[in-house]
């Protein structure tokens, strides 16, 4: 099934409207409610606190922190948090994972700054350890470069699917080796140079790890306007999607699924802002059902 979601605000001042929009998305039958993770900013809600409340207010939609700021959320505790949320919500969670990009900001939280190479190695260790700490089984002892746990019993609850926001070639290779999904950075889509050069790195790493490339799905953060009337141009001069009428969105997304194997889309408004309520309603009530029907034929 093709997944459809929306990107929510993390602004403290928008907390009530964000929760209302999450309920709107849930009632509309959408699959994902996504928030970002920037714990060093006081004007932003803690991502996991926000997702926890969203899951408590909703019945069907899954929560996604895209992407979890791993340097500030140590892997063993992150595993406990996501298995707890999954158990409380009936499995309505996707675990987004990131290397950590804004290191000057991250360091203000007292976290030791890592070099780019160290950050990627810690990223892979973190994913492997989180995955080991769910789904039951024997106690885990892990003696890595960045993480060490001793005789730690995994939670019985399974670890949710792990999606990354990898950008560089080394972290893309980690995605191919150990992740379950990829959300291209900078809202790049299936026609972008970033996708064309990045996805083969994931696929090759997956093959070398004995996996099928299709085991790593691609889900897109996709900003744009939903207009009442068709636009004469749906992409700008740089090839980035602008938006269009519901019919133009359906045509574009159907092609992405059928021709480029897209597995999902998270709607944002222009400039990466949260979408307007009217756009959420059109996304859930018109665009998502029409795309699903078209790709099922």
Mean pLDDT of all residues in 234-251: 97
Statement: the pTM of the whole predicted model exceeds 0.85: yes
- Percentage with pLDDT > 70 across the chain: 100
Mean pLDDT of all residues in 3-16: 97
Helix (H) or strand (E) holding 258: helix 246-260
On average, the pLDDT of the chain sits at: 96
pLDDT of residue 198: 98
Q: With bands split at pLDDT 50, 70 and 90, how would you rate the model's confidence at 89?
A: very high
pLDDT of residue 162: 98
Q: With bands split at pLDDT 50, 70 and 90, how would you rate the model's confidence at 148?
A: very high
pLDDT of residue 2: 97
Q: Where are the beta strands (DSSP E) in 45-112?
A: 62-69, 93-98
Position 21 pLDDT exceeds 80: yes
Backbone φ and ψ of 110, nearest 5°: 90, 10
Q: With bands split at pLDDT 50, 70 and 90, how would you rate the model's confidence at 103?
A: confident
Instruction: Go through 113-134 and write b for each residue having 16 or more CB atoms within 10 A of its CB, e for each that does not.
Output: ebeeeebbbbbbbbbbbbbbbb
pLDDT of residue 101: 77
Position 297 pLDDT exceeds 90: no
Query: How far out from the chain centre does Cα 275 lie?
Result: 17
pLDDT of residue 239: 95
Position 271 pLDDT exceeds 90: no
Q: Show the 3-state SS of 140-170.
A: EEEECCCCEEEEECCCCCCCCCEEECCCCHH
Question: How far apart, in Å, do the first and last CA atoms of the chain sit?
Answer: 13
């Amino acid at each position: 099934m093709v997944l459809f979601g929306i990107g929510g605000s993390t602004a403290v001042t928008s907390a009530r409207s964000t929760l209302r929009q999450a309920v709107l998305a849930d009632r509309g039958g959408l699959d994902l409610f996504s928030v970002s993770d920037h714990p060093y900013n006081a004007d932003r809600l803690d991502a996991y606190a926000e997702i926890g409340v969203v899951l408590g207010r909703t019945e069907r939609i899954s929560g996604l922190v895209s992407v979890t700021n791993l340097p500030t959320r140590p892997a063993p505790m992150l595993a406990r948090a996501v298995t707890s949320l999954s158990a409380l919500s009936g499995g309505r969670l996707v675990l987004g994972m990131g290397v950590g990009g804004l290191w000057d900001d991250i360091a203000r939280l007292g976290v030791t700054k890592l070099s780019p190479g160290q950050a990627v190695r810690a990223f892979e260790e973190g994913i492997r350890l989180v995955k080991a700490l769910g789904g039951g089984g024997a106690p885990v002892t892990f003696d890595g470069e960045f993480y060490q746990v001793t005789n730690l019993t995994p939670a019985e609850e399974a670890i949710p699917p792990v999606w990354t926001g990898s950008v560089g070639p080394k972290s893309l290779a980690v995605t191919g080796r150990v992740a379950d999904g990829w959300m291209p950075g900078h809202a790049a889509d299936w026609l972008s140079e970033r996708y064309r050069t990045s996805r083969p790195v994931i696929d090759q790493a997956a093959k070398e790890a004995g996996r099928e490339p299709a085991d790593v799905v691609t889900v897109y953060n996709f900003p744009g306007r939903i207009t009442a009337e068709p636009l004469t141009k749906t992409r700008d001069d740089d090839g980035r999607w602008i938006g269009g009428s519901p019919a133009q969105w359906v045509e574009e997304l159907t092609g992405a699924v059928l021709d480029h194997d897209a597995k999902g889309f998270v709607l944002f408004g222009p400039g990466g802002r949260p979408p307007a309520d009217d756009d959420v309603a059109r996304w859930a009530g018109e665009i998502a059902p029409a795309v699903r029907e078209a790709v099922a034929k």
